[in-house]
Amino acid sequence: MAERKPIESWLTDMDGVLIHEGTPIPGADAFIKRLRESGKPFLVLTNNSIYTPRDLQARLARMGLDVPVENIWTSALATAKFLDDQRPGGTAYVIGEAGLTTALHDIGYVLTDHEPDYVVLGETRTYSFEAMTKAVRLINAGARFICTNPDETGPSTEGPLPATGAVAALITKATGKQPYFAGKPNPLMMRTGLNAIGAHSETSAMIGDRMDTDVLAGLEAGMKTFLVLTGLTTERDTEKFPYRPTKTVPSIADLVDLV
């Protein structure tokens, strides 16, 4: 079996890897600092489509993590890139927040509820029954159904919240139409991210806290994968899956010396 090439670029999930419930995970600052000093290409990824990269940069900076805007890649950006490749200058009816609407505006999309090319569903703090009803009717009328990510729940200080995947299931039940998910575990999000930083999968690694999104996406994109145990997945959980990460480590602190 051919030996893997050295890691020249890094992709890392944000929640559960670098931060947890609004606080940095020990070692995250050292990891980001080492990455920036090394000059190696890197991206911080999130399936959450609520925030723009500039919002996320400010949020991370408040926690002492210095990540440039150009090193942040969201499912909203991956969705916009996909739509720009598929149907440049198209139209979309959007359920989502500024992270998604800004990404679509930036590629020249017109946001409308009049015969849109796509219905695009993302994360939002307030899912409106009226908006979901409109989405169902537009999809039944011929609009194509796109979702930023398949996450069924999202974290909050009070406990899990319904997320994009759960709302997508409701719309699918009402229309009979399955959406195309642009975010993790779709390797499309990884490949578009790698292209954005000029990196190649053979010499890249993905760090995540979830087997079903982070590790799976990295694996299918042809990257080395590192699972950290500071998020949702325990070491025992890994045995439930038919695939394994390249390596499992307690936290991001254990990867600083690999950069």
Q: 15, 29, 209, 214: which one is catalytic? A: 15
Q: 13, 29, 209, 214: which one is catalytic? A: 13
Task: Yes or no: say if 46 and 56 are a contact pair by the CB < 8 Å rule.
Answer: yes
Q: At 119, phi and psi to the nearest 5?
A: -105, 125
- Euclidean distance between CA atoms 224 and 76, whole angstroms: 24
232 token code pair: 């949702």
Q: How far is CA 253 from the centre of its chain?
A: 22
DSSP labels, 30-96: HHHHHHHHHT--EEEEES--SS-HHHHHHHHHHTT----GGGEEEHHHHHHHHHHHHSTT-EEEEES
Active site annotation includes 13: yes
70 token code pair: 């150009």
- One-letter amino acid at 102 equals T
Active site annotation includes 15: yes
Bridge partners of residue 42, in order along the sequence: 10
Q: At 83, phi and psi to the nearest 5?
A: -65, -35
Kindly list the catalytic residues: 13, 15
